Structure 1
Amino acid sequence: MGVKGFVEGGIASIVAGCSTHPLDLIKVRMQLQGESLAAGAGAGAGLRPALAFQPSGSVTVPLHPLPRPGLISVGVQILRSEGPAALFSGISATVLRQTLYSTTRMGLYDMMKKSWSGDNGILPLHRKIAAGLIAGGIGAAVGNPADVAMVRMQADGRLPVAQRRNYKSVVDAISRMVREEGVTSLWRGSSLTVNRAMIVTASQLATYDQAKEAILRRRGAGADGMGTHVAASFAAGIVAAVASNPVDVVKTRVMNMRVGVGEVAPYAGAVDCAVKTVRAEGVMALYKGFIPTVSRQGPFTVVLFVTLEQVRALLKDF
């Protein structure tokens, strides 16, 4: 029972991760916009500042906010400057991340769900949330190295050519991080990854199960088909995106920061990054990339659960 849940969740997660990878890359690029103001010039090389300035006597004062490119603009910008293949930068890291992180969280959640369910097979909402929190935290700790590699590979194209890391693959990324920055760099931002994963897993899986059960109670067991799976998974994607975006922005920035030998890190940690980001760019900076997050989280969650239900149907006799 236990191994089967891991296999089903792993297959569904890899399919969903690969199919929505370009949207995830655009989300990462948007979350890094304006970072130079938050962390100083060293952390945000190659980024456009969020404010235009003009001199006023001996003092430089803000002139007006510069418009930030949106989802479509960022996508077009990447296509023009880096080519279509750039939308799949870091895809090997996505596959490894889904194999480690999502396989673990989906399998553990399935085990706890079956173990904690009552005689009627229904798990109360608070237990679904608890199972999601535990499964997400463990999965994130296992998959953090691939997560760091994925963020860096997706963000590389926004840097000036001379500053790019140019990782050849996720294996190259991880081996170079260990060699150049030490083993601990593989778990940079792990507290954020764990927090985000706990929030995403609890909100995503609990919402899906809760929504699906509500639909089936209303329409009967005969409604357990594609329409119900899509509706429940779309609701789960929206809830997960709203709950996780602020942590995701901070996680992306902490993981992406470049720290040379003897240099001071742009951010001292997650709290420092959040504070600097809010001070420089405002509270809504924590919802940067929200549109692509929803645009990615919605399809990702739909593909994830629809694929999961199909895989379960195929493997039901095993």
Structure 2
Amino acid sequence: MVTDASPLLTHDGLEFCQYMAAGSIAGSIEHMAMFPVDTLKTRMQAMTGLDPGHHGGVRRALGSILKLEGPSGLYRGIAAMGLGAGPAHAVYFSVYEICKEKFSGGNRNNPAAHAASGVCATIASDGVMTPMDVVKQRLQLKSSPYKGVWDCVKKVLKEEGAGALYASYRTTVVMNAPFTAVHFATYEAVKRGLTELSPVNSEEDERVVVHATAGAVSGVAAAAVTTPLDVVKTQLQCQGVCGCDKLCSSSIGDVIESVIKKEGYRGLMRGCLPRMLFHAPAAAICWSSYEASKSFFLRF
């Protein structure tokens, strides 16, 4: 039996490996369920000019994919997401829980601690996820030249070098730091508010609807705030592939300037709607799965 003195035990009564398992389960379920919406977002953000999947919005982008590629076109790259999402979310949630315990100072309702813990979690998990995210997005593009995950990895390494797999890491961290700060702080605040409106006997009795609602609200808020940086990330990861512009610089400021020059400020909000449509249910699914997994481990 693990005692309270064990360094593996956190405030919720779970061990580090259990947080990793719960996070891995939650992340895999979330991304697999919402992958078609993520494909729409990537198509809309990657291309500039007169790409038919961009200027008609979500409906036209969806219609274009279904007409030209069939339903399978919405799932290109899902294997890369499957390989990356589990390990990345295992790191994500375990780091979050450990940091939340250390930063909270005994105050479970400390929004600053939740936000700071989220930032630490994303810095760690993005190091795991970024290479597979690059592969995933390149496979999602229209007329992608890659046959699959490993073909993409081999060609990128051969033609562009290992650095290409991490070209967007800085942008991803800069985007995800405020994303997770807003996401976790909003999630904890909304969850607390909903629990107070409808009191339960104990924290273990928290209903799935509370986690799902809090997750959806936090997902929408964080997605809306960080869409411009997500556009930059997609441009960096897909540059030079399938007609996407080859960028002269990986500087966030230079990419933003390039997008504004071509399309104006509205170009920075490309894919905002599918991004919010992705993150609302995705966050609801992820948090519900994560909390359910934690409850399972607590019981057994």
Residue equivalent to 2:195: 216
Is this contact kept in 2: 1:113–1:123, CA < 8 A? no
Is this contact kept in 2: 1:109–1:131, CA < 8 A? yes
Residue equivalent to 2:27: 13
Is this contact kept in 2: 1:138–1:194, CA < 8 A? no
Is this contact kept in 1: 2:52–2:61, CA < 8 A? no
Q: 1:194 is matched with which residue: 142, 152, 173?
A: 173
Is this contact kept in 2: 1:199–1:244, CA < 8 A? yes
Residue equivalent to 1:178: 157
Is this contact kept in 1: 2:84–2:128, CA < 8 A? no
TM-score of the superposed pair, with normalisation by structure 1: 0.82
> Given the alignment of the two structures, is residue 167 of structure 1 paired with residue 181 of structure 2, yes or no?
no
**Separation of aligned partners in 1, 2:95 and 2:181:** 12
CA deviation after TM superposition for structure 1 residue 242, in Å: 1.1
Residue equivalent to 2:83: 96
**Separation of aligned partners in 1, 2:59 and 2:159:** 35
SS of the counterpart of 1:315? Answer: helix
**Separation of aligned partners in 2, 1:179 and 1:33:** 24
**Separation of aligned partners in 1, 2:184 and 2:150:** 30
Q: 1:242 is matched with which residue: 224, 229, 249?
A: 224
More displaced 10-residue stretch of structure 1: 247-256 or 69-78: 69-78
The amino acid across from 1:73 in the alignment is R
Residue equivalent to 2:119: 133
TM-score of the superposed pair, with normalisation by structure 2: 0.87
CA deviation after TM superposition for structure 1 residue 175, in Å: 2.3
The amino acid across from 2:183 in the alignment is Q
**Separation of aligned partners in 2, 1:98 and 1:203:** 21
CA deviation after TM superposition for structure 1 residue 265, in Å: 4.2
Residue equivalent to 1:55: none
Higher normalized strand content (fraction of residues): 1
> Given the alignment of the two structures, is residue 272 of structure 1 paired with residue 280 of structure 2, yes or no?
no
> Given the alignment of the two structures, is residue 204 of structure 1 paired with residue 204 of structure 2, yes or no?
no
The amino acid across from 2:147 in the alignment is Y
After superposition, the Cα gap between the structure-2 partners of 1:312 and 1:171, relative to the gap in structure 1 and judged at 3 Å, is same
Is this contact kept in 2: 1:141–1:193, CA < 8 A? no
**Separation of aligned partners in 1, 2:194 and 2:179:** 22
Equivalent residues in 2 for 1:223-302 (5 A)?
224-258=206-240, 265-269=246-250, 270-302=252-284
Unaligned runs of 5+ in 2: 1-14
SS of the counterpart of 2:298? Answer: coil
Residues 38-73 of structure 1: CA distance to partner in whole angstroms, max 9, x if unpaired?
xxxxxxxxx5399xxxxxxxxxxxxxxxx9211122
Residue equivalent to 1:30: 44
Unaligned runs of 5+ in 1: 37-46, 51-66
Residues 196-242 of structure 1: CA distance to partner in whole angstroms, max 9, x if unpaired?
22222222222111211122233323472022122211111111111
**Separation of aligned partners in 2, 1:200 and 1:187:** 19
**Separation of aligned partners in 2, 1:196 and 1:3:** 27
CA deviation after TM superposition for structure 1 residue 148, in Å: 0.7
Instruction: Give the aligned CA root-mean-square deviation in angstroms.
Output: 2.1
Greater than 4 Å deviation, 4+ residue runs: none
The amino acid across from 2:145 in the alignment is R
Residues 239-278 of structure 1: CA distance to partner in whole angstroms, max 9, x if unpaired?
111122111001001110128xxxx942312221110101
CA deviation after TM superposition for structure 1 residue 123, in Å: 4.2
Is this contact kept in 2: 1:136–1:202, CA < 8 A? no
Provide the identity percentage: 25
Q: Which has the larger radius of gyration?
A: 1
Equivalent residues in 2 for 1:68-79 (5 A)?
68-79=55-66
Is this contact kept in 1: 2:26–2:89, CA < 8 A? no
